[in-house]
A and B are shown apart, each in its own frame.
Chain A
Amino acid sequence: DAKTTQPPSMDCAEGRAANLPCNHSTISGNEYVYWYRQIHSQGPQYIIHGLKNNETNEMASLIITEDRKSSTLILPHATLRDTAVYYCIVDSGNTGKLIFGQGTTLQVKP
């Protein structure tokens, strides 16, 4: 499986957009990019996933570069409840076996 690299921590002001980067330079053609988050002490929560096109849902937007070597998760209007660890995961989608790295701890500040 391709590995991902994320910054260990980021801050964001409440009400502003939070842009969380992820590098996955060894991603294969059939591998998807998934984002999960884990709010303190809770189980991880699925956010969004994509293959090569940009994706948007009610929680977030996912921007994948044309070469697919990196992506950005965008939370358009961050709230204090978005404070969490965000995990970027690359997987072919055929195994169900998610490999979690260290993730990015996003702190949303008032």
Chain B
Amino acid sequence: NAGVTQTPKFQVLKTGQSMTLQCAQDMNHEYMSWYRQDPGMGLRLIHYSVGAGITDQGEVPNGYNVSRSTTEDFPLRLLSAAPSQTSVYFCASSLGQHYNEQFFGPGTRLTVL
């Protein structure tokens, strides 16, 4: 099993550009989520999904869109990048909403100039 994979590892954007951060898992996990981590801080939840076709907002959803068309993939879209979105983004998955042993990907470091 590859576990949770994220691409790209690093990305630099200019203000106003859009892009999609990819997240995939091969563990047949129902629950997937996206977090962001700013320097010296803990992780904050952006969006989450309890299964294919179902998504919901987390603590800091503004400026981000998600969709879940398959169990395996949970992409995070930045519609119009802003410097405040400079952060490290982590994707996580678990068997289900009620299982809090979550598996995290290696992260994507995003810089918005």
Contacts and interface: CB of A to CB of B under 8 A. Distances in A.
A96 B94 contact: yes
Contacts of A76: none
Given A42-B106, A97-B48, A100-B43, A32 B100 contact: yes
B105 A43 contact: yes
Given A97-B48, A100-B44, A103-B42, A44 B100 contact: no
Given A43-B92, A44-B43, A97-B33, A49 B100 contact: yes
12 contacts: A32-B100, A43-B90, A43-B107, A44-B102, A46-B102, A95-B97, A96-B31, A96-B94, A98-B102, A99-B45, A99-B59, A100-B44
B100 A43 contact: no
B24 to A, nearest CB: 14
Nearest to A89: B100
A36 B102 CA distance: 9
A interface, over-half SS: loop
Interface residues of A, number: 22
Interface of B: 4, 31, 33, 35, 41-45, 48, 50, 58-59, 88, 90, 92, 94, 96-107
A44 B90 contact: yes
Given A32-B100, A93-B100, A102 B41 contact: yes
A101 interface: yes
Given A87-B42, A102-B41, A103-B42, A97 B104 contact: no
